[in-house]
A and B are shown apart, each in its own frame.
Chain A
């Protein structure tokens, strides 16, 4: 039996800038770090948190929509995370804007580990009409 999707259908017009999400926590394992490093082909890659997409994780827990495409992403490095530590993420809606008739949402998130070390900050601009990719760039 398929569970009903109880998430809120996104209404871009009524989405409030400044809306904050529940803190998201996860344990960063050595396996996560190793797999990330293989994926990016960089044995010294220091911020496996990038692949966790923590800035949009809680948004996607609260809202459902037609999907999204990452249009822009800014990342601020403070301290590389340490495997075995629990990481807490605070995320919020930082902005939204309309450009060339397309809707964008900007999410921002800050990650801190269990010892209070500031890890990183990420700001992502997501285009909420993902089929524009196929229309513009074809197959």
Chain B
């Protein structure tokens, strides 16, 4: 029986590197992200004065949830939306502020696989660094890849 209707079949190995994802943070992108939920008032993300009062910083910062979105994008591109959008997880710790003007690079490396009832859970170590090489976030993502997306000998 063929595997009609499923995505590409791929073999996952511990140590495999994911294609990195690079994002250039701008104030416009931050404003769009914040505004997409209907938030129109000043915040530490959109207004320098509010950031100064709330955080004690000279300028605005990007919400950690933007980095979360980017990390999810990297894994969705790697595993495919059919897999990641229905059985993906992301857990990020935010270690340094990301500011407008920063270029942040997301990297991922497979750290392990474990059997699940209907497939294999693939774990990916995530690292995020800015243009100075400082780590801004780190964590782990996972995806449960269904058997139909795995080679038959796995």
Task: Name 11 A/B residue pairs within 8 A (Cβ), A-sorted.
Answer: A36-B36, A39-B33, A45-B73, A47-B72, A51-B37, A51-B69, A53-B65, A71-B64, A73-B65, A73-B91, A130-B56
Contact mask A45-73 → B, CB, 8 Å, 1/0? 11110111100000000000011011111
B143 — nearest CB in chain A belongs to which residue? A77
Number of chain B residues whose Cβ lies closer than 8 Å to a Cβ of chain A: 44
Instruction: Chain B residues near A134: list those with CB within 8 A.
Output: 55-57
Which residues in B have some Cβ–Cβ distance to A below 8 Å? 23, 29-38, 44, 54-59, 61, 63-66, 68-70, 72-73, 76, 81, 84-94, 96-97, 139
A-B contact count (CB 8 A): 130
Known: A70-B64, A133-B55. A46 touches B81 (CB 8 A): yes
Which applies to chain A's interface (DSSP): helix, strand, loop or mixed?
mixed
Distance from A11 Cβ to chain B, minimum over Cβ atoms (Å): 20
The answer to whether A32 touches B36 (Cβ under 8 A) is: yes
User: Complex Cα distance A73/B148, Å?
Assistant: 30
Q: In this assembly, does A74 line the interface, its C-beta being within 8 Å of a C-beta of chain B?
A: yes
